Amino acid sequence: MKLAFYSLTSCEGCLTTLITKLGPDIEGLWNNFDIDYFKLVREPVGGSKFPKADIAFVEGAVVTNLDREHLLEIRKNSRFVVAIGTCASSGNIAYIASRNVKLGKKALSVLEVHEAEPLSSVIAVDFELNGCPVNADEFIDALLRLVNGLEPIQPDFSVCYQCKLAGNACLLDRGQLCLGPIAMGGCDAACTSVGSPCFGCRGPYVDADLKAYFRTLEKKGMKIEDAKPLLQMFMGKKIKEVLKE
Amino acid sequence: MAKLSWHEILGLITELQKRGFDVVGPSSEGGVVKLLPLEENTKLETNYVRTLNSPKDFLLPNKERLFRYKSTATVTSYGLKIRFPTVEGPCPITIVPEYSPPRGRIAFFGIHPCMVNSIRYLDKVMLSDPADPYYKARREGLFIAVLECDEGDEYCFCKSVGCEKVPNGYADLSIKKEGDGFVVTPRSPTGSSLLMEEGVEQIEETIPKMKEEYLFDAKDEKSIDLKDPANLLEDCTICSSCTVVCPTCYCSDIQDRFSLMDPSNVERIRTRMSCQRKSYSSIAGGVTFLRTKNERFKWRMKHKFPFSERMYGISGCVGCGNCIAFCPSRIDFRTFLGRRVA
Ligand code: SF4
Ligand code: SF4
Ligand code: SF4
Ligand code: SF4
Ligand code: SF4
């Protein structure tokens, strides 16, 4: 089975995370699959820059004209496209950041810089693995399910759910603004477990109830206005859709 | 009965450990009291009302490995292909489960009566025929030292659900705070041998003082169905915390875990599930039965009250108040199900 790992505009942190966090599994990945393209590790010399693949994993947001062109090529050459990481699934920080500045066109002659978009704004995406950065265990799980013709599973629980499983006292009770109640879990409450509030880096979770969340904040004496910039930080296009509802 | 100092109480814990028990008790960590394995650096806490986790986290641990099996993973020209029993029809003969029951005996030291009642409820569920072998193995030889509870907080209501006392046969020791010391009473032969005393004593249990008491009207499903929780749940974000911290919520999911390194080696684990999660009531084809938070909440209430009452003859809610105290939105179901009487 052929796999490919591509990178659009991003910090390349997701692919780096896969390399560093897979540990001994990286060998299994290499031995069991044909990987013709892995940004940072193996890039084809000559021939097509976008080899045919059964599953293409793509990190990064669509920001430049080249990103857009490459992504369309990737879609054409891949049976299954998986967005990896929050840049690819929601546009991440770049989504709101690129909308708050005047994008000058003068920077580079061949490169046009546009407002950042997630992959799903440009192509049909088959599955999204969220997280900033992506979670290596979820990646393996999704990959092996796909290999077996099963749909990968998206976490259907909030960060609070895992925060409570981890045995943490709630930060909201200490007056710290935490997005846990509406954020998609799957990270084992990585941030709240070390005392830092959740910024919702995996986007909103499937049953996220923003109205109830805002009411909860007000009940605790916090301001909705303070939550809005946090909501927009990582959740990108996804929160725009939820905010609309 | 013996009057023990703080130092002697710690001596009992050491003695239990010498006898091969994994001693678990309340301890403060990160600004909250939790049940933790009592080891050298874990200090026993005796001035507390509630613990964020509960005995279920030790008797029914999350991500417990049930067994390992060899799958028929093959690497073909198509790549890797793992054959699951569920996907490929009946279990191929090459799948040999390796099952090893959990070892080690657990001693809960210093838990309150509501939590002891939660163990009784879990026993009813997990030991009724057919018994869950993993639970049973952990449960065997369980030691319980109850710390009597003087007064609950505003979320406690054990008295309203009849869980303010320790059920028969559910205590080896009773510990009562008195001045700087503790009055310790043996309530089982194991308890007396630990105190180096003869015989078992009956005691007048302390009934915890309640800040609030309630009369619930939830004997049958209809009484719950007729109520509308929309107002109560306006602030509920369906985060599912309530079922995580509830000592009697036992729902689980089964998952297969595999590694890329050795794909033929599969681990089957039991993880937590919650009726507040979408997948709890989702079936093939994408249909979800409990769609709204109102429906999920009603289901939780029905399971805690009428369903449990009907199946086991006891309340599925022990009145610990955890689901209220640790709910980020403080959703309080008590006035929804009944009325406050004191
Ligand atoms: S700290 Fe955040 S994630 Fe944890 S329970 Fe509170 S709101 Fe939820
Ligand atoms: S706790 Fe929140 S911000 Fe932190 S990793 Fe998890 S989802 Fe992301
Ligand atoms: S009742 Fe509270 S803890 Fe339970 S799902 Fe709703 S907000 Fe979360
Ligand atoms: S339903 Fe709430 S009060 Fe009742 S046992 Fe569970 S956590 Fe405690
Ligand atoms: S159905 Fe819901 S309320 Fe009942 S045990 Fe399961 S998670 Fe708890």
Three-point CA angle A62, A66, A70, nearest 5°: 80
| Listed residue (B319, B307, B272, B325) closest to B116, CA to CA | B319
Q: Does one domain contain both A70 and A9?
A: yes
Please report which confidence band the pLDDT of residue B85 belongs to, taking 50, 70 and 90 as the band edges: low
> What is the average per-residue pLDDT within A6-35?
91
Predicted-complex ipTM score: 0.93
> Are B194 and B12 a contacting pair, CB within 8 Å?
yes
Q: How far is A198 from chain B (nearest CA, A)?
A: 14
Q: Does one domain contain both A178 and A213?
A: yes
pLDDT of residue A40: 82
The residue of chain A with its CA nearest to that of B246 is A164
Task: Indicate which residue's Cα is closest to atom 8 of ligand 3.
Answer: B239
**Number of domains composing chain A:** 2
Q: Does one domain contain both A175 and A209?
A: yes
Q: How far is B3 from chain A (nearest CA, A)?
A: 34
Is position A154 within any domain? no
Q: Which of A107-111, B192-196, B228-232 has the lowest mean pLDDT?
A: A107-111
Please report which confidence band the pLDDT of residue A224 belongs to, taking 50, 70 and 90 as the band edges: very high
Which structural domain range is residue B17 located in? 2-340
Ligand 5 binding pocket mutation candidate from B56, B270, B275, B308 (most atoms within 8 A of CB): B275
The Å distance, Cα B245 to ligand 4 centre, comes to 8
Does residue A149 register a pLDDT over 80? no
3 state SS for chain A = CEEEEEECECCCHHHHHHHHHCCCHHHHHHHHCEEEEECCCECCCCCCCCCCEEEEEEECEEEEHHHHHHHHHHHHHEEEEEEECHHHHHCHHHHHHCCCCCCCCCCCCCCCEEEEECHHHCCCCCEEECCCCCCHHHHHHHHHHHHCCCCCCCCCCEHHHHHHHCCCCCHHHHCCCCCHHHEECCCCCCCHHHCCCCCCCCCECCCCCHHHHHHHHHHCCCCHHHHHHHHHHHHHHHHHHHHHC
Q: Does one domain contain both A9 and A96?
A: yes
> What is the average per-residue pLDDT within A51-70?
95
Instruction: State which ligand 2 atom lies nearest to the alpha carbon of A234.
Output: 3
Q: Which of A143, A169, A207 is opposite residue B238, by nearest beta carbon?
A: A207
pLDDT tens-digit readout, A164-217: 999 999 999 999 999 999 999 999 999 999 999 999 999 999 999 999 999 999
Share of chain B above pLDDT 90, in %: 76
Task: Indicate which residue's Cα is closest to atom 7 of ligand 4.
Answer: B246
Q: Does one domain contain both A129 and A202?
A: no
pLDDT of residue A44: 79
Is position A87 within any domain? yes
Please report which confidence band the pLDDT of residue A1 belongs to, taking 50, 70 and 90 as the band edges: confident
pLDDT averaged over chain A? 91
Burial class (CB in 10 A: 0-12, 13-18, 19+), B124: middle
Q: Which of B79, B84, B241 is opposite residue A161, by nearest beta carbon?
A: B241
Entry pTM = 0.93
Q: DSSP string of B180-224? A: TEEEEEE-SHHHHHHHT--S-----PPPPB-S--EEE--SSHHHH
Is position A131 within any domain? yes
Q: Does one domain contain both A20 and A137?
A: yes
Q: Does one domain contain both A165 and A143?
A: no
Q: Are B328 and A172 an interchain contact pair (Cβ–Cβ within 8 Å)? A: yes
| Alpha-carbon gap, residue B75 to B81, rounded angstroms | 6
B84 touches chain A (CB under 8 A): yes
Q: Does one domain contain both A117 and A164?
A: no
User: Strands A34-38 and A2-7, how do they pair?
Assistant: parallel
Which of B33, B52, B237, B249 should one mutate to test binding to chain A, selecting the residue with the greatest count of A CBs within 10 A? B237
Q: Does one domain contain both A107 and A216?
A: no
CATH assignment of the domain containing A6: 3.40.50.700
* Residue showing tokens 């509630």: B50
pLDDT tens-digit readout, B112-140: 999 999 999 999 999 998 999 899 999 99
> Are B161 and B216 a contacting pair, CB within 8 Å?
yes
B82 touches chain A (CB under 8 A): yes
Is position A152 within any domain? no
The Å distance, Cα A165 to ligand 3 centre, comes to 14
**Contact residues on chain A for B32, CB-CB shorter than 8 A:** 167-169
Backbone angles phi, psi at B76, to 5 degrees: -110, -175
pLDDT tens-digit readout, A85-119: 999 999 999 999 888 777 665 566 678 889 999 99
| Alpha-carbon gap, residue A82 to A63, rounded angstroms | 18
Does residue B88 register a pLDDT over 50? no
Does residue B316 register a pLDDT over 70? yes
The residue of chain B with its CA nearest to that of A192 is B30
Q: Does one domain contain both A173 and A138?
A: no
> Are A127 and A58 a contacting pair, CB within 8 Å?
no
**Number of domains composing chain B:** 1
B32 touches chain A (CB under 8 A): yes
Q: Does one domain contain both A163 and A142?
A: no
Task: Indicate which residue's Cα is closest to atom 2 of ligand 4.
Answer: B323
Residues 98-117 of B with CB under 8 A from A: none
Q: DSSP string of B33-94? A: EEEEE--TT-----S-S--SS-THHHHS-TTEEEEEEE---EEETTEEEPPPTTTSSSPPTT
Q: Does one domain contain both A31 and A95?
A: yes
Q: Which ligand is nearest to the CA of A173?
A: 1
Q: Which of A36-40, A125-129, B242-246, B314-318 has the lowest mean pLDDT?
A: A36-40
Cα A7 to Cα A62, A70, A137, B273: the distances in Å are 10, 10, 20, 35
pLDDT of residue A109: 66
Which structural domain range is residue A220 located in? 159-244
Task: Indicate which residue's Cα is closest to atom 2 of ligand 3.
Answer: B327
The Å distance, Cα A159 to ligand 2 centre, comes to 7
Is position A153 within any domain? no
List, in order, residues 6 or more apart from A26 with CB less than 8 Å away: A18, A19
Q: How far is B327 from chain A (nearest CA, A)?
A: 9
> Are A162 and A188 a contacting pair, CB within 8 Å?
yes
Of A117, A147, A177, the domain-final residue: A147
Q: Which ligand is nearest to the CA of B31?
A: 1
Give bridge partners of residue B26 from the DSSP assignment.
B35
The Å distance, Cα B334 to ligand 4 centre, comes to 10
The Å distance, Cα B324 to ligand 3 centre, comes to 8
